[in-house]
Chain A
Amino acid sequence: MEKTMTPVLDVEKIEQAGNPVSGAGKSLTAKRRRYGEIIGRGLAFSCAAAVILITLAIIYFIAVKGLAIFTVNGVSIRSFLLGLQWYPDRPAAQGGPLVGAATMIIGSVLVSLLAVLLSTPLSVIVSVFMVEIAPGWGQRVLQPAIEILAGIPSVVYGWIGLSMLVPFIRIHSGGQGFTGFSLLAGFLVLSVMILPTVISVSADSLKALPGQWKEAALALGSTRWQTIRMVLVPAARTGIITGVVLGLARAFGEALAVQMVIGNTREIPHSILSPIMTLTSAITMDMGYTIMGSMWNNALWSMGLILLIMSFFFILTIRLVVKRGMVK
Chain B
Amino acid sequence: MNNRLADRLATVMFWAGALLVLLILGFLLGYILIHGLKDISWHFLTSPPQNMLAGGGIGPQIFNSFYLLLLAMLITVPVGLLAGIYLAEYASQSRVTESIRLCIETLSSLPSIVVGLFGLLIFVNMTGWGYTLMSGALALAVINLPLMVRVSEEAIRSVPPELREASLALGAARWQTMWRVIIPSAFPGLLTGGIIAAGRVFGEAAALLYTSGMSSPPLNFADFNPFSHLSPLNPFRPAETLAVHIWKINSESLIPDVRRVADGSAAVLVLVVLIFNLSARWLGRVIHRRMTAA
> Which of A's residues lie within 8 Å of B, judged by CB?
1-3, 6-7, 9, 11, 14-15, 19-22, 33-34, 36-37, 39-41, 43-52, 54-58, 61-62, 65, 122, 125-126, 128-130, 133-134, 138, 141-142, 144-149, 151-156, 158-160, 162-164, 192, 195, 199, 223-226, 228-229, 246, 249, 252-256, 259-260, 280, 283-285, 287-288, 292, 301, 304, 307-308, 311-312, 314-315
| B200 contact set on A, CB distance < 8 A | 151
Please tell me if B105 contacts chain A, counting CB pairs below 8 Å. Answer: yes
- Chain B hits for A154, CB < 8 A: 203, 205-206
The CA-CA distance from A15 to B161 in the complex, in Å, is 18
Q: How far is the CB of B6 from chain A (nearest CB, A)?
A: 6
Interface of A is mostly: helix
- With a CB–CB cut-off of 8 A, which chain B residues contact A149? 21, 24-25, 28
Q: Given A19-B171, A148-B274 in contact, is the A304-B109 Cβ separation under 8 Å?
A: no
Distance in angstroms between the alpha carbons of A226 and B3 in the assembled complex: 8
Instruction: Known contacts A36-B176, A122-B21; decide if A128 and B91 are in contact (CB<8 Å).
Output: no
Given A6-B161, A54-B142, A61-B122: A146 and B21 within 8 A (CB)? yes
Q: Taking the complex as formed, is B243 at the interface, i.e. its CB lies under 8 A from any CB of chain A?
A: yes
B interface: dominant SS: helix
Given the interface contacts A51-B104, A162-B250, A224-B10, does A44 sit within 8 Å of B203 by beta carbon?
Answer: no
Known: A48-B86, A154-B206. 17 other contacts (CB 8 A): A22-B171, A51-B149, A57-B122, A125-B17, A148-B277, A153-B205, A154-B205, A155-B269, A156-B246, A160-B32, A223-B3, A253-B110, A280-B111, A304-B113, A307-B111, A307-B114, A315-B109
Q: Which residues from chain B contact A311 at a C-beta distance below 8 Å?
A: 106, 109-111, 114
Cβ < 8 Å to A, chain B residues 91-105: 91-93, 99-100, 103-105
Contact A225–B117 (Cβ < 8 Å): no
Chain B, 250-281, CB within 8 A of any chain A CB: 250-251, 259, 262-263, 266, 269-270, 273-274, 276-277, 281
Q: Is the CB of A254 within 8 A of B210?
A: no
Docked CA distance A301–B121 (Å) = 10
Task: Select which of B82, B165, B173, B273 is within 8 A of A153 by beta carbon.
Answer: B273
Chain B: interface residue count, which band?
35 or more
Whether A152 contacts B110 by the Cβ 8 Å rule is no
23 interchain pairs (CB within 8 A)? A9-B168, A11-B168, A47-B82, A48-B86, A55-B106, A65-B117, A65-B121, A125-B17, A126-B18, A144-B281, A152-B203, A155-B269, A156-B32, A159-B250, A160-B266, A162-B250, A163-B263, A192-B28, A226-B7, A253-B110, A255-B111, A260-B250, A292-B125
Known: A61-B122, A287-B120. Is A15-B173 also a contact (CB below 8 A)?
yes
Contact of B106 among A1, A141, A159, A315 (CB under 8 A): A315
CB neighbours of B92 from chain A (8 A): 3
- Does A52 contact B99, Cβ atoms closer than 8 Å? yes
A-chain residues with CB within 8 Å of residue B220 when the two chains form the complex:
none
Q: Provide the residues of chain B in CB contact with A138, threshold 8 Å.
A: 18
Which residues of chain B have C-beta atoms less than 8 A from A3's C-beta? 92-93
B174 on the A face (CB < 8 A): yes
- Pick the residue among A1, A21, A256 that contacts B206 (CB under 8 A): A256
Q: A39 contacts which chain B residues (CB < 8 A)? A: 175
CB interface residues, B 145-160, toward A, < 8 Å: 145-146, 149, 157
B62 at the interface (CB under 8 A from A): no
Question: Is the pair B31, A129 in contact by a Cβ cutoff of 8 Å?
Answer: no
**CB of A293 to closest CB in B, whole Å:** 11
Among A46, A128, A253, A260: residue with most chain B CB under 10 A: A253
- Give every chain B residue within 8 A of A44 (Cβ-Cβ): 82-83, 85-86, 89-90
Pair A47/B86 contact, Cβ less than 8 Å: yes
CA distance A47 to B78 in the complex (A): 9
Q: Which of A50, A58, A158 contacts B79 (CB 8 A)?
A: A50
Nearest Cβ distance between residue A68 and chain B, in whole angstroms? 12
User: Which residues of the partner chain A approach B273 to less than 8 Å between Cβ atoms?
Assistant: 148, 151-153
Determine the chain B residues whose CB is within 8 A of the CB of A45 once the complex forms.
86, 90
Residues of B within 8 A of A14 (CB): 168
CB of B63 within 8 Å of the partner chain = no
Instruction: Decide yes or no whether B181 CB sits under 8 A from chain A.
Output: no
Residues of B within 8 A of A164 (CB): 31
Please tell me if the beta carbons of B83 and A51 are within 8 angstroms of each other in the complex: yes
- Interface hits, B209-241 → A, CB 8 Å: 209-210, 214
With A and B bound together, what is the CA distance between A129 and B15 in angstroms?
A: 7
Q: Are A287 and B14 interface neighbours, CB within 8 A?
A: no
Interface centre among B4, B80, B149, B209 (most CB of A within 10 A): B209
The CA of A235 and the CA of B59, in the complex, are separated in Å by 52
Q: Does B64 lie at the interface of the complex (its beta carbon under 8 Å from any beta carbon of A)?
A: no
Say whether B54 faces chain A, with CB atoms less than 8 Å apart. Answer: no
Minimal beta-carbon separation of A287 from chain B (angstroms): 6
Residues of B near A147 (CB, < 8 A) are 196, 277
The answer to the question of B22 belonging to the interface, with a C-beta cut-off of 8 Å to chain A, is: yes
Which residues of chain A come closer than 8 Å to B276, judged between CB atoms?
151
Known: A45-B90, A55-B106, A148-B274. A163 touches B114 (CB 8 A): no
**B14 cross-chain contacts in A, Cβ below 8 A:** 125, 128-129, 133
* Chain A residue contacts of B28, Cβ below 8 A: 149, 152, 160, 192
* Given the contacts A125-B17, A154-B203, A249-B109, A48 and B91 also touching, CB distance less than 8 Å: yes
List B167-188 residues whose CB lies under 8 Å from chain A: 168, 171, 173-176, 178
B21 touches A195 (CB 8 A): yes
- B132 part of interface (Cβ distance < 8 Å): no
Contact assessment for B17 and A122 in the assembled complex, using a CB-CB cutoff below 8 Å: yes
CB atoms of B113 and A283 under 8 A apart: yes
